[in-house]
Amino acid sequence: MMRFMLLFSRQGKLRLQKWYLATSDKERKKMVRELMQVVLARKPKMCSFLEWRDLKVVYKRYASLYFCCAIEGQDNELITLELIHRYVELLDKYFGSVCELDIIFNFEKAYFILDEFLMGGDVQDTSKKSVLKAIEQADLLQESGSPSLRDLMPTDYSLPPL
């Protein structure tokens, strides 16, 4: 089971956090700080897995963003790595060539997509179609006529093509 997932930038700004086990706010902050330090200190070609506390950490960097998952001892590292990738694909498909700013300005959407994909720390559905269908259905239910968010985005740090 996944314990938590973090998205943070190279500058150490936390962009998204999802906890699958009750953790106190104080403890969360401490863990985030500690883990970000460890991961940001690693060099590009290094292995994507590391032992941290009593957990296994799997991380991958996409452009300026680090996606970082903590899993338990028995869990499979490689499939977690691909889980991260599938989530990036979902974001990409939804936002259209996703960038860090999309996630900043539409953080709630990033959470909704993650929720459709993972629940309670386990994969709910791995089919891209199913997840996106769920999100789109939800979008259909929403009001229309919103101003363009792109106007507000000064620069575009696109994630690399998938």
Partner 1 sequence: MPAVSKGDGMRGLAVFISDIRNCKSKEAEIKRINKELANIRSKFKGDKALDGYSKKKYVCKLLFIFLLGHDIDFGHMEAVNLLSSNRYTEKQIGYLFISVLVNSNSELIRLINNAIKNDLASRNPTFMGLALHCIANVGSREMAEAFAGEIPKILVAGDTMDSVKQSAALCLLRLYRTSPDLVPMGDWTSRVVHLLNDQHLGVVTAATSLITTLAQKNPEEFKTSVSLAVSRLSRIVTSASTDLQDYTYYFVPAPWLSVKLLRLLQCYPPPDPAVRGRLTECLETILNKAQEPPKSKKVQHSNAKNAVLFETISLIIHHDSEPNLLVRACNQLGQFLQHRETNLRYLALESMCTLASSEFSHEAVKTHIETVINALKTERDVSVRQRAVDLLYAMCDRSNAQQIVAEMLSYLETADYSIREEIVLKVAILAEKYAVDYTWYVDTILNLIRIAGDYVSEEVWYRVIQIVINRDDVQGYAAKTVFEALQAPACHENLVKVGGYILGEFGNLIAGDPRSSPLIQFHLLHSKFHLCSVPTRALLLSTYIKFVNLFPEVKTTIQDVLRSDSQLKNADVELQQRAVEYLRLSTVASTDILATVLEEMPPFPERQSSILAKLKKKKGPDTATGLEEAKRERSAAVNGGPEPAPASAASTPSPSADLLGLGAAPPAPAGPPPSSGGLLVDVFSDSPSAVAPLAPGSEDNFARFVCKNNGVLFENQLLQIGLKSEFRQNLGRMFIFYGNKTSTQFLNFTPTLICSDDLQMNLSLQTKPVDPTVDGGAQVQQVVNIECVSDFTEAPVLNIQFRYGGTFQNVSVKLPITLNKFFQPTEMASQDFFQRWKQLSNPQQEVQNIFKAKHPMDTEITKAKIIGFGSALLEEVDPNPANFVGAGIIHTKTTQIGCLLRLEPNLQAQPPSPRARVPRPRCCSWSDPVPCVLALSWTPQ
Question: Looking only at residues 59 through 118 of this chain, which bind partner 1 when binding is defined by CB under 8 A?
Answer: 72-74, 76-79, 81-83, 85-86, 93-96, 102, 104-109, 111-112, 115
- Taking the least distance from each CB to partner 1, the nearer of 55 and 65 is 55
Q: How far apart are CA 160 and CA 149, in angstroms?
A: 21
Site for partner 1 in 128-157 (CB under 8 A): 128-130, 134, 137-139, 141-144, 146-150, 152
Residue 87 three-state SS = helix
The first and second tokens of residue 155, run together, are 């620069």
Asked if 14 is part of the footprint of partner 1 (rule: CB under 8 A), the reply reads: yes
Q: How far apart are CA 129 and CA 61, in angstroms?
A: 24
Number of residues located near partner 1, criterion CB under 8 A: 75
The first and second tokens of residue 124, run together, are 């709910």
Q: How far apart are CA 138 and CA 58, in angstroms?
A: 31
Asked if 125 is part of the footprint of partner 1 (rule: CB under 8 A), the reply reads: yes
Residues contacting residue 41 through CB under 8 Å, at least 6 positions apart: none
Alpha helix positions (H), 22-76: 25-40
Site for partner 1 in 34-53 (CB under 8 A): 43, 45-51, 53
Q: How far is the CB of 56 from partner 1 (least distance, A)?
A: 9
Asked if 158 is part of the footprint of partner 1 (rule: CB under 8 A), the reply reads: no
